[in-house]
């Protein structure tokens, strides 16, 4: 599994904004220069972060973006979900095979054993990311 570059830029943008806090909003040009990315690409990323309530867009000549809440209250999982969407990482798609039927037949009440393992791994992965905040990486 690989996250998109948008997620990478979003995490770095939030860390940069957290480092500047509370110096006021940061313009898209400054942020794009620091991240070495185009303003138009970064604008799309920041729009996603704004829609998910992670940043505020401040209008005006001295406007820009600022964190919508404390960096300690923005988890990596929040950012990943804002950028990648809210979908399950694993879907058992081999449901018509004999092998799948055999696994489910042995434990019908609990479903496919492979899916259970993958769901447990996803849960641990998401738990870990939900406990890592933007503040935790800038405080190290």
- CB burial of residue 24 (10 Å; 0-12, 13-18, 19+): exposed
Cβ count within 10 A of residue 54:
26
End-to-end CA separation in angstroms for the chain: 26
Q: What is the mean pLDDT of residues 57-77?
A: 94
Angle at 38 between CA 72 and CA 70, to 5 degrees: 10
pTM of the entire predicted model? 0.84
Note the Cα 120 to chain centre separation in Å: 19
Q: Give the whole-number percent of the chain exceeding pLDDT 70.
A: 84
Contact 122, 80 (CB under 8 A): no
pLDDT greater at residue 78 or residue 140: 78
Residue 24's pLDDT band, with cuts at 50, 70 and 90, is: confident
Cβ count within 10 A of residue 50:
15
pLDDT 10s digits, 76-116: 999 999 999 887 777 776 655 555 555 555 555 556 777 88
Residue 139: predicted pLDDT: 85
């Amino acid at each position: 599994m690989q996250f998109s570059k948008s997620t990478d830029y979003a995490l770095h943008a939030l860390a940069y904004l957290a480092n500047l806090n509370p110096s006021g909003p940061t313009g898209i040009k400054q942020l794009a220069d620091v991240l070495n990315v185009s303003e138009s690409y970064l604008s799309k990323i920041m729009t996603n972060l704004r829609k998910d309530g992670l940043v505020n867009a401040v209008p005006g000549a001295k406007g820009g973006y600022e964190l919508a809440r404390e960096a300690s209250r923005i988890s990596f999982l929040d950012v990943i979900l804002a950028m990648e969407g809210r979908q399950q990482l694993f879907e058992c798609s081999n449901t018509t095979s004999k092998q799948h039927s055999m696994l489910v037949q042995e434990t019908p009440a609990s479903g496919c054993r492979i899916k259970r393992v993958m769901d447990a791994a996803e849960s641990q992965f998401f738990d870990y990311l939900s406990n890592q905040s933007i503040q935790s990486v800038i405080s190290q």
